[in-house]
Amino acid sequence: MKFSALPALAVFSCLASSINAAQDEAAQLSQLLGEAANDILGQLREEEGALAKRGVEASCTVRNIAIRREFGSMAPEDRKAYTDAVQCLQRKSNLTPNSLVPGARTRFDDFVAVHQNQTPYIHFSGTFLGWHRYFIWHYEQALRNECGYKGYQPYWDWSKWAAAPQDSPMFDGSPYSMGGNGEFIPHDPLVLLPPVEGANPPIVIDAGLGGGCVQSGPFSNMSVNLGPIGLTNTPPGPDGGLGYNPRCLKRDVGPFCLQKYNNYTRIWNLMTQRHNIRDFQLDLEGPPGTGDLGPHGGGHFAIGGDPGGDLFTSPGDPAFYLHHGQVDRLWTLWQALDPATRRNALDGTNTMLNDPPSANTTLEDFINLGYAAGQPIQMKNVMSTVTGPFCYIYL
């Protein structure tokens, strides 16, 4: 009698300790990242003081710095203000000429189009982190300057919601969410083929809990105009994916990817055990050919669907910008943990996986967002979130 109760107890205590472990990991990570953020503010204060001694006024200070927050930690009305502004961008006309991108219809599409066009140069390349930093910053600027948004770009803390992202504030489908999951349509796992045919095992991603059109919340009405280009098992849209191809927003949100690639352990290791930019980027994007998607790929495929599951067209899902907010947050705070060696550290070439072969990206190289926004900018001016055009921090 006594013994039959033992296994159950053992299971229970094992579960309890893994829950405690997860809470400890969350607390430890949040402490580490909090300290990194404080270091950035401390540095700003010092620089402001040094400038003041020379009679110069600092432009980015602890008093005017923009604070980007986790979507789930924002007040409901602030979340709604954000999605209202995104919908405003989706009503304004595109600036991208239709002679270049025939399918662009809105200002929102301008951002999608430039990402489509530049995908082979801004992923698994030296510009990956800097380009996406500049990209989401200009998106935030467009929301503020063209659509009257008063807040800042939110981010998505993957690990926090890894057990059930579909029920999280981001995807629960309430009026204060980023829109719900896609309608549940039973479907097979997604099989991503390896870059080199036959060289590596394919990556199998368990089916999520959606698959169909988003039916609740802010983006249930949205028209996805561009793409797809690189959606697995789906041929490209008209004009190679740059043509007009209006359809609903589909998502396949579920816990599989986040639990596997974006849990607290993974992010803790990324932040504490990757000591140079090469290792940091590889871990974040997943070392090619290993079957590991990394937290960057994990977040993308935790959203999945169309266009979320398409490397080229993924910014066509408004959740993209919150996912890349978290990528930028982790880069920012990783840099702050050792600014002397990390502030200007770059690794990679100017083409995806150096194919075709290209030069190493340098701090002098320019990136640009085409018709979406802004001027070309040198990599050296996007390496810090408190200099150049930027003045923001993540809490």
Ligand X SMILES: *[C@@H]1O[C@H](CO)[C@@H](O)[C@H](O)[C@H]1NC(C)=O
Q: Which residues contact 340 (CB under 8 A, 6 or more apart)?
A: none
Q: Is 341 in the site for ligand X (CB under 6 A)?
A: no
The answer to whether 318 and 178 are in contact (CB under 8 A) is yes
The answer to whether 104 and 119 are in contact (CB under 8 A) is no
- In whole angstroms, how close is the CB of 99 to ligand X at the nearest point? 30
Number of residues that bind ligand X (CB under 6 A): 10
- In whole angstroms, how close is the CB of 126 to ligand X at the nearest point? 9
- In whole angstroms, how close is the CB of 317 to ligand X at the nearest point? 16
- In whole angstroms, how close is the CB of 261 to ligand X at the nearest point? 5
Segments of the chain assigned E as strands: 66-68, 182-184, 190-192, 203-205, 211-214, 366-369, 373-378, 392-394
- In whole angstroms, how close is the CB of 280 to ligand X at the nearest point? 14
Report how far apart, in Å, the C-alpha atoms of 262 and of each of 71, 158, 162, 173, 295 are: 17, 6, 7, 22, 5
Q: Which is nearer to ligand X, 79 or 138 (CB)?
A: 79
Q: Which is nearer to ligand X, 22 or 41 (CB)?
A: 22
Q: Which is nearer to ligand X, 136 or 267 (CB)?
A: 267
**1, exposed or middle or buried, with CB in 10 Å at 0-12, 13-18, 19+?**
exposed
Query: Among 28, 30, 265, 276, which residue interacts with ligand X (rule: CB under 6 A)?
Result: 265
Query: Among 107, 115, 138, 266, which residue interacts with ligand X (rule: CB under 6 A)?
Result: 266
Number of H-type helices and E-type strands within the chain:
10, 8
- In whole angstroms, how close is the CB of 373 to ligand X at the nearest point? 25
Q: Is 13 in the site for ligand X (CB under 6 A)?
A: no
Q: Which is nearer to ligand X, 52 or 163 (CB)?
A: 163
The footprint of ligand X on residues 348-377 (CB under 6 A) is: 360
Binding string, residues 144-183; x marks residues near ligand X by CB under 6 A? ----------------------------------------
- In whole angstroms, how close is the CB of 281 to ligand X at the nearest point? 12
Binding segment toward ligand X, per CB under 6 A, in 150-158, 166-174, 232-240, 258-266 = 258-266
- Alpha-helical regions (H) of 262-380: 264-273, 277-285, 294-303, 320-337, 339-342
Determine the length of the chain. Answer: 395
The answer to whether 107 and 191 are in contact (CB under 8 A) is no
Q: Look up tokens 């909090």; give the residue.
A: 34
Please give, one letter per residue, the 3-state secondary structure of 140-203: HHHHHHHHCCCCCCCECCHHHHCCCHHHCCCCCCCCCCCCCCEEECCCCCEEECCCCCCCCCCE
Q: Which is nearer to ligand X, 265 or 341 (CB)?
A: 265
Query: Phi/psi class of residue 269: alpha, beta or left (left: φ > 0; alpha: ψ in -120 to 50)?
Result: alpha
Q: Is 80 in the site for ligand X (CB under 6 A)?
A: no
- In whole angstroms, how close is the CB of 243 to ligand X at the nearest point? 24
Query: Among 263, 281, 351, 361, which residue interacts with ligand X (rule: CB under 6 A)?
Result: 263
Binding segment toward ligand X, per CB under 6 A, in 51-59, 184-192, 260-268, 384-392 = 260-268
- In whole angstroms, how close is the CB of 101 to ligand X at the nearest point? 25
Q: Looking at this protein, which amino acid is placed at residue 265? A: T
Q: Is 28 in the site for ligand X (CB under 6 A)?
A: no
Q: Which is nearer to ligand X, 22 or 32 (CB)?
A: 22
Q: Looking at this protein, which amino acid is placed at residue 78? A: D
The footprint of ligand X on residues 218-247 (CB under 6 A) is: 218, 220-221
Q: Which is nearer to ligand X, 354 or 368 (CB)?
A: 354
Residues that bind ligand X (CB under 6 A): 218, 220-221, 259-261, 263, 265-266, 360
